[in-house]
Amino acid sequence: MSTGIRKLHSKGCPGQDGGRCRCGAGWEASVYFAREGRKVRKTFPRKAEAESWRDDAKVAANRGALRPNSDTRRLADALTDHVEGMRRGMVRPKGRAAYKPNTVRSYERAVAVIASTFGALRVTDVRRRDVQALVDELLAESAAPASVANILNPLQAFYRRAIDRDEIAHNPTERIDLPAGGLARPTRIAAAAEAAELIDALAEEDRALWATAFYAGLRRGELQALRWCDVDLGASTIAVERSWDQYEGPLDPKSRASRRRVPLLAVLRDYLDEHKLATGRDSEDLVFGRSAAEPFAPITIGKRSRRAWKKANLEPITLHECRHTFASLLIDSGANPKAIQTYMGHSKIQTTFDTYGHLMPGSHDEVRARMDAYLGTSSQDSGDRSPN
């Protein structure tokens, strides 16, 4: 396959200005499509635009497809259909049965942003430069890289699925230049003594909930869905078997790794024992619900707790920050990264390292000191074994 970029000259061309030919002739990009047996050419005012088009065209050429694609819908309509398919279970993520309701809702919000920019284009007319322009515009408006990545998610999922099913030949969401935001590091982590103070400052009815967040690291939805049958006081474990969605009710955990068993620490057992006696609940009853069947309201719990902490002159904390605190306590106790991954319910250990790696022991000075000590000892041992 022959491809190329050629500058188009006019007589007496004065050269380039910022990548644009001053004579206005521009640049020509060409790609040879072997299957169709012909070369396709297109001109652009800037070299960068010609190169971008050529990259996209080469992908289509490698897939052997210049033929018209079957999907002639507007992108906005196609994405709306895609999200509706997710909601009905007809469109699902690879290796999983269905998308979570919260994911569907977040995709729906992102589609509204995409539709307002280049949603009027046909699915097969969207180019990488269109997607990149949206990214650049959002970043220029001070959107966080992680937020921009979330907006791109439904677009990327749609095109990946269409490519996999040979419905289109070209994916305009590949190789998008987006700053690597990574996973946000926790900004609020309570020390062990502080966690105890925060719990003790609360009303008795709220202490077990916050203690479970601190000492078991469950997500908010997992706390809302926790039943007494999931708490095994005899085996000292908490089984995370489901989560809670504010619109859909109880759901399976967000991933296979989220279904897990967390050790029931002795400090937490005391709070749960008292809470069980106070509520009189058991079996399928919710541990922390407003009633045995209704989950607690996070907003109400948050407001009530902040009032108590303000009165005690303590810095407030959120349920999610309590989860970070649990991870920190695991690290401080010497738990290995694989155990931390399991107890936190992370699908990949890289998520654990990205989020909590900076808390783990192993600073440059510490590593250097350990290596110096190890190598010094090894060298001494080697010298002892050397012949006289």
The domain spanning residue 269 has which CATH number?
A: 1.10.443.10
Q: Which of 231, 192, 232, 233 is nearest to 214 (CA)?
A: 192
Per-residue pLDDT, 268? 95
Per-residue pLDDT, 373? 78
Q: What is the residue range of 84's domain? A: 75-164
Between CA 383 and CA 9 the distance in angstroms is 74
* Dihedral sign computed on CA atoms, order 191, 195, 198, 201: negative
Output DSSP code: residue 33: E
Domain co-membership, 109 together with 151: yes
Domain co-membership, 323 together with 355: yes
pTM over 0.85? The answer is no
Residues 6 or more apart whose CB falls under 8 angstroms from that of 145 comprise 139, 178, 179, 180, 181
* Dihedral sign computed on CA atoms, order 273, 278, 283, 286: negative
Domain co-membership, 58 together with 82: no
Question: What is the four-CA torsion angle of 114, 120, 122, 127, rounded to 10 degrees?
Answer: -50
Between CA 173 and CA 107 the distance in angstroms is 16
For tokens 């192993």, the residue is 362
Measured from the Cβ of residue 321, the count of other Cβ atoms closer than 10 Å reads 17
Per-residue pLDDT, 67? 45
Per-residue pLDDT, 312? 96
Hey, is 162 helix, strand or coil? helix
Does the residue 185 lie in any domain?
A: no
Between CA 60 and CA 57 the distance in angstroms is 5
Partnered with residue 249 across adjacent β-strands are 245
Domain co-membership, 199 together with 306: yes
Domain co-membership, 39 together with 132: no
Q: State which of 149, 164, 179 marks the end of a domain.
A: 164
Number of domains into which the chain is organized: 3
Domain co-membership, 249 together with 309: yes
Domain co-membership, 40 together with 109: no
Which residues in the chain land under pLDDT 50?
1-2, 12, 14, 17-21, 65-68, 388
Q: Is residue 173 a contact partner of residue 127, using CB atoms and an 8 Å limit?
A: no
* CB-count burial class (<10 Å; 0-12, 13-18, 19+) for 17: exposed
Distances (CA, A) of 368 to 170, 336, 360, 380: 49, 21, 16, 18
Amino acid present at 78:
A
Domain co-membership, 203 together with 343: yes
